[in-house]
Amino acid sequence: MKPIHPNGLHETVADIVRELGDKVNVRTATLDQPEQGLPDEILNQTDVLIWWGHCAHDKVEDGLVSKIQERVLKGMGLIVLHSGHYSKIFRRMMGTSCDLRWRDDTYERVFCISPNHPIAKGIPEHFDLGIEECYGERFDIPQPDEVIFEGWFDIGEVFRSGCVWNRGYGKVFYFQPGHETNNAFQNQYIRQIIKNAVEWIAPAVYRDSMGSPHINPTLEELRK
Ligand code: ZN
């Protein structure tokens, strides 16, 4: 059987973002790398951080979580996928338990309920994802600024599966699909949503160390 993530799940996700072409410079970080893959010089150059995690949430250093939080508050976009709902950084950004009702694999249909949001560009009213791990309500998150997607599961659960929040100068997007043994990241609409999210969540403005807002130099470069 062909492995679902032949180069690791982080590379599966990175390949989706790489489809944005010259607009992006993609690198991956894993816990086993020095400084858990996110030394200051890399974090401080990152416009968008995508976070997927499952069993090792408690291995992430609290000091790194604080640095990521600070970076988001200054403007960096944070995209949290699937079981990342329990990551230290997501719970830190939300300030709640981020607990949810867990059920095993079942059949999911994703509804796009905010079709005008930039993350929903090109996404139909609903699409069938197929077999996916079931997350249900109540999802213990603060009220999102907008719920863009809702998941319906055929064992009788619903879930706010795509939500956005503003945090300081930065934005956070949580997106539920992406269990490691299923095929969500091969689904064309899931891939489109992740690419849309990267483009939307990249900061136009950063807050510098003195607290002053300034235009993101990366985006300025792109406009030339
Ligand atoms: Zn999972």
- pLDDT tens sequence across 75-124: 999 999 999 999 999 999 999 999 999 999 999 999 999 999 999 999 99
Q: How far apart are CA 171 and CA 2, in angstroms?
A: 36
Gap from CA of 54 to ligand 1 centroid (Å):
7
Confidence class for position 213, pLDDT limits 50, 70, 90 = confident
Ligand 1 centre and the CA of 194: distance in Å? 17
Q: How far is the CA of 51 from the centre of ligand 1 (A)?
A: 13
- The Å distance, Cα 63 to ligand 1 centre, comes to 26
Give CA–CA dist 152/20, Å, rounded: 29
pLDDT exceeds 90 at position 208: no
- What is the CA(59)–ligand 1 centre distance, in A? 18
pTM metric for this prediction:
0.96
In this predicted model, what pLDDT tens digit does every residue of 152-206 receive, in sequence order?
Answer: 999 999 999 999 999 999 999 999 999 999 999 999 999 999 999 999 999 988 8
Give the tens place of pLDDT for each residue, 88-102: 999 999 999 999 999
| Mean pLDDT, range 125-147, rounded to an integer | 98
Q: How much of the chain, in percent, has pLDDT values that exceed 90?
A: 88
Cα 132 to averaged position of ligand 1 atoms, centre (Å): 8
How many CB atoms lie under 10 A from the CB of residue 43? 18
Six-digit token pair at 197?
């999210």
Average pLDDT over residues 44-55: 95
From ligand 1's centre to the CA of 210, what distance in Å? 40
**Cβ contacts of residue 13 below 8 Å, gap of 6+?**
50, 52, 81, 185, 194
Q: How far is the CA of 176 from the centre of ligand 1 (A)?
A: 9
pLDDT at 219 over 80: no
